[in-house]
Structure 1
Amino acid sequence: MKRLILGIFSIICMVTANSVQAQDKGPEFSKLDVSPMDLAIYRNDKDQPVVRVIYSRPQKRDREVFGKLVPYGKVWRTGANEATEITFYQDMKIADETVKAGTYTLYTIPEEKEWTVILNKKTNTWGAYEYSEKEDIVRIKVPVRKAPNNIEALSMAFEKANNGADLLIGWDDRYVKVPFKTAK
């Protein structure tokens, strides 16, 4: 009899503990995005921010990237998820155009030998679905370069250049350099 009462008591305790545990799960956080968000920032010699890019990093995962996953000749958000945004903390020169300090969307049109790089006024967009050429403030063409190593995830970085920085955008077996110069 003692064993029966002890067994029933044990079962009641386990059911109660599981019930309390199920009610108090705590917050649920989302899993890591398959194309996680990242940023690249360029700072001047005084450690002040000059330009920053926020983008999502799709992975190659044994896929053919350029010409297939990212079609040639079409406007691309230059990443995944939300369109890539670039913020200038001071006026900058891109090609012969002066771009005022502010935040813009960075789109590209990849081709085999060159990319068209676009800065667009419309921000906070998903993909390139809301892209409108009427909102473009600057377009430049930059040559495609062969990457020294295979780049698994879309990557962006800044490289110091004369009077500014080059934005390097690389993925798979290639990359481009986008030159930015301080307007002053």
Structure 2
Amino acid sequence: MKNTKHLLLAFALLIASTFTAFAQLQTPAASPAAFVSQTVGFTKISIDYSSPAVKGRKIFGEIEKYGVTWRAGANAQTIIDFSTPVSIGGKNIRAGRYSIFMTPAASGEWTVHINSKAASVFSYMKEGVIDEEAVAADDAVSFKVAPTAGNTERLQYHISAENNKVAKVTMAWEKVVISFMVDTQVDQRIEGFKSAF
């Protein structure tokens, strides 16, 4: 009888500790953090973002509405970082951290915003959506990009070095691929170095 009580007590403790362990177990993030970095010319380009999955949903046009500015990722805003000044869309921008926003379009070109404030995306929220005018007011540069077709389950960013002077930055998710070029101004830096001597 005494052994049975000890056995039952041990069993109860085992079950209690198992429930405690399961209660402490965290499930993986639905949109895990992701990071990509590439050196192009003299410039290190890094993108810090969250990577949601399609999971059988219609993303563009339903979850991310056409004509409504989107954080170009999930959770917090997507951040792009340049270690040196670069040129995007024909405009020179300083080294530093920027937010990426995109405004999807049902047909035609999307708007890509390289936003000078790497602040919380929630500072741009108005009535539950991102206020495009407020984003545009803080843009270092914005430009139009024609999307191409793809098929990507989980949102991804890629940076390719192309000719090691100009980088190609690509966002791919669901059936959409958006790419833009970043001129790292290698030739200008070399000329500036030469003229200094």
Q: TM-score range by the shorter chain?
A: 0.7 to 0.9
1:160 and 2:156 are equivalent in the alignment: no
Question: Percent of pairs identical after alignment?
Answer: 23
Say if 1:35 and 1:57, in contact at 8 Å, map to a contact too.
Answer: yes
Aligned equivalent of 1:102, options 64, 78, 96: 96
1:136 and 2:139 are equivalent in the alignment: yes
Aligned mates of 1:24, 1:64 — CA distance in 2: 38
1:49/1:15 CA distance change after superposition, 3 Å: farther
1:154/1:96 CA distance change after superposition, 3 Å: same
For residues 38-90 of structure 1, the C-alpha deviation after alignment (integer angstroms, 9 at most, x for no partner) is: 11211236xx7611111111211122222111111111100111010100111
**Displacement of 1:104 after TM fit?**
0.8
In the other structure, the counterpart of 1:76 is 70
In the other structure, the counterpart of 2:173 is 171
Count of aligned positions: 176
Q: Which runs of 5+ in 2 are unaligned?
A: 190-197
**What TM-score results when the alignment is normalised by the length of structure 2?**
0.77
**What TM-score results when the alignment is normalised by the length of structure 1?**
0.82
**Displacement of 1:119 after TM fit?**
1.1
1:60/1:101 CA distance change after superposition, 3 Å: same
**Displacement of 1:134 after TM fit?**
2.1
Which secondary structure does the structure 1 equivalent of 2:182 belong to? strand
For residues 120-179 of structure 1, the C-alpha deviation after alignment (integer angstroms, 9 at most, x for no partner) is: 1222414652662321111111111122xx211111101223422010111122211111
**Displacement of 1:115 after TM fit?**
1.3
Runs of 4+ in 1 over 6 A off after TM superposition: none
Say if 1:109 and 1:117, in contact at 8 Å, map to a contact too.
Answer: yes
**Displacement of 1:26 after TM fit?**
10
Aligned mates of 1:10, 1:180 — CA distance in 2: 69
Matches within 5 A, 1:115-126: 115-126=110-121
Q: Which runs of 5+ in 1 are unaligned?
A: none
Which secondary structure does the structure 2 equivalent of 1:161 belong to? coil
Counterpart residue identity of residue 6, structure 1: N
Say if 2:71 and 2:102, in contact at 8 Å, map to a contact too.
Answer: yes
1:39 and 2:40 are equivalent in the alignment: no
Aligned mates of 1:23, 1:33 — CA distance in 2: 21
Q: Root-mean-square deviation (CA), in Å? A: 2.6
Looking at secondary structure, tell me which structure has more strand per residue. 1
In the other structure, the counterpart of 1:114 is 109
Which secondary structure does the structure 2 equivalent of 1:106 belong to? strand
